[in-house]
Amino acid sequence: MTSTTGPARARRILGRPFGVGDLTLTNRIVMAPMTRSLSPGGVPGDDVARYYARRAEAEVGLIITEGTFIEHPSAGMSDDIPRLWGADALAGWRHVVDSVHAVGGKIIPQLWHVGVAREPGTGPIASAASVGPSGIDLDGSAKGEALSLSDIDDLVAAYVAAAATAQRLGFDGLEVHGAHGYLIDQFLWERTNQRTDAHGGNLAARVRFAAEIVAAVRGAVSPGFPIFFRLSQWKIGQFDARIAHTPGEFEQILLPLVEAGVDVFHASTRRYWLPEFEGSDLNLAGWAKKLTGKSTVTVGSVGLDAEFVGPSGRAGQSAVTGIDELLDRAERDEFDLVAVGRALIADPEWARKTLADRSGEVQPYHARQLASLH
Residues involved in catalysis:
182
Distance CA 251, CA 264 (A): 15
Distance CA 110, CA 112 (A): 6
Distance CA 72, CA 48 (A): 23
Q: Which residues contact 208 (CB under 8 A, 6 or more apart)?
A: 187, 198, 199, 256
**Structural contact between residues 364 and 303, judged by C-beta atoms closer than 8 angstroms:** no
Give the count of alpha carbons within 13 A of 241, CB side only. 24
In angstroms, what CA-CA distances link 141 with 134, 144, 236, 274?
A: 11, 10, 15, 30
Q: What is the DSSP string of 67-130?
A: EEE-SSTTS-S-TTS-BS-SHHHHHHHHHHHHHHHHTT--EEEEEE--GGGSPTT-SSSTTSPP
Tell me if residue 59 falls in helix, strand or coil: coil
The DSSP bridge pattern shows strands 23-25 and 317-318 to be unpaired
According to DSSP, the residues that pair with 85 across neighbouring strands are none
**Structural contact between residues 211 and 226, judged by C-beta atoms closer than 8 angstroms:** no
Tell me if residue 255 falls in helix, strand or coil: helix
Q: What are phi and psi of 157, to 5 degrees?
A: -65, -35
Number of Cβ within a 10 Å radius of residue 302: 24
According to DSSP, the residues that pair with 286 across neighbouring strands are none
**Structural contact between residues 156 and 111, judged by C-beta atoms closer than 8 angstroms:** no
Give the count of alpha carbons within 13 A of 218, CB side only. 17
Distance CA 84, CA 2 (A): 39
Chain centroid, CA 109 distance in Å:
9
